[in-house]
Copies of this chain bind each other. A is one copy, B any other.
Amino acid sequence: MSKIAEPELLNRLTQVFRTHGYEGASLSRISKATGLQRASLYHRFPGGKAEMAEAVLKRAGEWLQAHALQPLTESGPPERRLRQMAEKLDEFYEGGRQSCLLDALSFGVEQGAIRDHQRAAMKTWVDAIATMLRESGLSGRTAQERAEDAVIRIQGSLVMARATGDQMPFRRTLRNLPQELLRKPEPARA
């Protein structure tokens, strides 16, 4: 059928968007990365670049859901479940060498489906962690804040990794994530 199969095509598209952002992901670059000419790309994605970005976001979201978030809902000690998530995130972001699409595609994209998708993905991610933390005994409010904190730390360490070229902070963040999230809540301060 296709000279290049859908999954691999999406892989390469993802790579381009992650590296260059939305505006930097020109059709020339995409064409070069995928081996498909402009017209062939428009055959696969009649909606053009916007549809490519959406497809890439959708797929990344599905992968994360299936591999990183799904373990959170299973049985076993909470710390273990969080470690599984961290492991998958490490894989997804290639140890900090790859950017997050939610960051890369948040510049220059005004509104529309892409923005909506981003917002929803972020919420899904936070909610999944928060739900798990609540089931582990944390209060609703603490669980929510820590879940946000977890995503914040991951995103921030990816930014730092990209800006400095050093992946260590990212890996350390992932490693410390489980215990940070599960630590005893400190009493409210004066």
Chain A residues with CB under 8 Å of chain B are 19-24, 99-100, 102-104, 106-108, 118-119, 122-123, 145, 148-149, 151-157, 159-160, 162-165, 169, 172-173, 179, 189
Contacts and interface: CB of A to CB of B under 8 A. Distances in A.
A152 B153 contact: yes
Nearest to A172: B145
Nearest to A157: B152
Contact of A160 (B152, B163, B173): B152
A113 B163 CA distance: 13
Interface-central residue, A119, A162, A163, by most chain B CB under 10 Å: A163
A169 B147 CA distance: 11
Majority DSSP secondary structure for residues of A touching B: helix
11 contacts: A20-B23, A21-B107, A104-B107, A106-B163, A119-B163, A122-B163, A122-B164, A149-B153, A151-B156, A152-B160, A156-B156
B156 A107 contact: no
Contact of A20 (B103, B107, B163, B165): B107
Interface-central residue, A122, A153, A159, by most chain B CB under 10 Å: A159
Contacts of A189: 179
Contacts of A155: 155-156, 159-160
Contact of A153 (B99, B123, B153): B153
Contact of A24 (B107, B162, B165): B107
B108 A160 contact: no
